């Protein structure tokens, strides 16, 4: 005599209660108590703890969001591409990914993710090489001073970096960055700003938009289309655009125009390859990594499908539990 399996009722989701919980530890406690069915875009700092939870499924979804060190080219020292390249060689990005992001994030060379049709493969990378960084700074005329800080024409190589207050990842990056850049003769001062001031508009005195920084750490989220003209074209500097680097390159501009005015994928792909190579060569920004979005959800939840470019709620009509 066999026993029938118990009936399991699958209920379509007709309501989602979405709650903003500002404290990461509170969220973790509620997950451990199974008071939450889904955490969207969980903090990378808690990845090791989230892996230990039971009755949840954890996913890592590559997302069109990259973290960057933005250089302000109006800063005299950073106007020299050799200095920007040197700073890139002086930055141990692979160690940041491993130690700070617990190997969640993906190393990147430029602003297009590997899964995009516009991605240009085999881009050169600035792998960690303090000796090469020092040689480039020497060639640019920045000689090591007796105090361990480089000097040129009576000026020390001192830079001010802007960070968002309360960012655990940002703080960890800058702790390492200060040490690594100091090793090659660069003095880096960190200034923290509340998010609302850091990202404010030009007329409101926003730190990024008004260029009140030499180096800034922040993220950028791409759309489905690879268009990045508002960030990098010569006519897109604030207040008229998002070119907070104050970067201008005629070759890149010409490629952006081709990409903006063509409907042919092959033509646009070639244009974006040119743009990416120019960004790596001229290095107005150092792309650190592309994010993999961490989502944690109840194993009973069916139909949850994280996406590369949109909110995880995009297909909630198909969820059941």
Q: What is the pLDDT of residues 115-125, one digit of tens each?
A: 999 999 999 99
119 versus 17: which is more confidently predicted? 119
pLDDT band at 3; cut points 50, 70, 90: very low
Number of structural domains, the chain? 1
Tens-digit pLDDT profile for residues 237-291: 999 999 999 999 999 999 999 999 999 999 999 999 999 999 999 999 999 999 9
Q: Which two tokens stand for residue 281?
A: 């060569």
Secondary element (H or E) of residue 150: strand 150-152
| The model's pTM | 0.90
Which residue bears the tokens 């207050």?
165
Distance CA 106, CA 114 (A): 10
Tens-digit pLDDT profile for residues 201-234: 999 999 999 999 999 999 999 988 999 999 999 9
Tell whether 224 is covered by a domain.
yes
> Taking residues 149-161, what's their average pLDDT?
98
Check pLDDT > 50 for residue 2.
no
Distance CA 175, CA 99 (A): 12
Distance CA 214, CA 141 (A): 19
pLDDT given at position 166: 84
> Taking residues 4-26, what's their average pLDDT?
71
Phi-psi map region of 103: left, alpha, beta (phi>0 left; psi -120 to 50 alpha): left
pLDDT given at position 51: 95
pLDDT band at 10; cut points 50, 70, 90: low
pLDDT band at 146; cut points 50, 70, 90: very high
Tell whether 297 is covered by a domain.
no
> Which of 66, 58, 18, 103 is CA-nearest to residue 294?
58
Write the burial class of residue 136 (CB in 10 Å: 0-12 exposed, 13-18 middle, 19+ buried).
Answer: buried
Q: What distances in angstroms separate CA 27 from CA 18, 24, 107, 294, 300, one per listed residue?
A: 13, 5, 28, 14, 19
pLDDT band at 11; cut points 50, 70, 90: low
> Which of 93, 60, 69, 89 is CA-nearest to residue 284?
69
Tell whether 206 is covered by a domain.
yes
Are 146 and 109 within 8 A, CB to CB? no
Tell whether 163 is covered by a domain.
yes
Q: What distances in angstroms separate CA 8 from CA 1, 5, 156, one per listed residue?
A: 22, 9, 71
Tell whether 100 is covered by a domain.
yes
Check pLDDT > 50 for residue 171.
yes
pLDDT given at position 20: 83
> Taking residues 192-209, what's their average pLDDT?
97
Tens-digit pLDDT profile for residues 48-60: 999 999 999 999 9
Tell whether 313 is covered by a domain.
no
Tell whether 287 is covered by a domain.
yes
pLDDT band at 5; cut points 50, 70, 90: very low
Q: Is the dihedral of CA 262, 264, 265, 266 positive or negative?
A: negative
Tell whether 211 is covered by a domain.
yes
Tens-digit pLDDT profile for residues 69-127: 999 999 999 999 999 999 999 999 999 999 999 999 999 999 999 999 999 999 999 99
Tell me the residue range of the domain where 227 lies.
Answer: 63-292
Check pLDDT > 90 for residue 12.
no
Query: What CATH number is associated with residue 101?
Result: 3.10.105.10
């Amino acid at each position: 005599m066999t026993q029938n399996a118990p009936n399991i009722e699958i209920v379509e989701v007709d309501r989602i209660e979405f709650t903003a919980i500002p404290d990461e530890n509170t969220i973790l406690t509620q997950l451990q108590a199974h008071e939450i069915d889904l955490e969207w875009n969980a903090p990378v700092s808690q990845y090791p703890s989230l892996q230990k939870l039971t009755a949840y499924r954890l996913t890592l979804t590559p997302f069109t969001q990259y973290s960057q060190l933005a250089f302000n080219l109006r800063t005299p020292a950073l106007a020299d591409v050799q200095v920007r390249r040197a700073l890139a060689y002086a930055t141990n990005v692979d160690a940041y990914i491993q130690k700070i992001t617990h190997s969640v994030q993906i190393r990147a060379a430029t602003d297009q993710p590997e899964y995009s049709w516009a991605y240009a493969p085999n881009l050169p990378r600035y792998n960690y090489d303090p000796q090469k960084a020092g040689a480039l700074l020497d060639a640019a005329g920045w000689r090591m001073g007796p105090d361990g800080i480089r000097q040129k024409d009576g000026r020390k190589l001192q830079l001010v970096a802007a960070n968002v207050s309360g960012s655990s990842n940002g703080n960890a990056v800058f702790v390492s960055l200060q040490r690594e850049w100091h090793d090659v003769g660069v003095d880096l001062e960190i200034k923290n700003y509340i998010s609302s001031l850091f990202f404010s508009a030009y007329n409101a005195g926003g730190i990024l938009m008004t260029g009140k920084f030499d180096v800034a750490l922040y993220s950028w989220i791409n759309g489905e289309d690879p268009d990045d003209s508002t960030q990098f074209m010569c006519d897109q500097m604030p207040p008229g655009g998002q070119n907070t680097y104050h970067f201008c390159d005629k070759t890149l501009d010409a490629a952006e125009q081709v990409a903006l005015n063509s409907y042919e994928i092959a033509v646009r792909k070639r244009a974006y390859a040119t743009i990416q190579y120019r960004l790596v060569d001229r290095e107005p920004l150092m792309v650190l990594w592309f994010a993999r979005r961490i989502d944690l959800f109840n194993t009973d939840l069916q139909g949850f499908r994280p996406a590369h470019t949109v909110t995880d709620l995009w297909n909630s009509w198909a969820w059941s539990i």
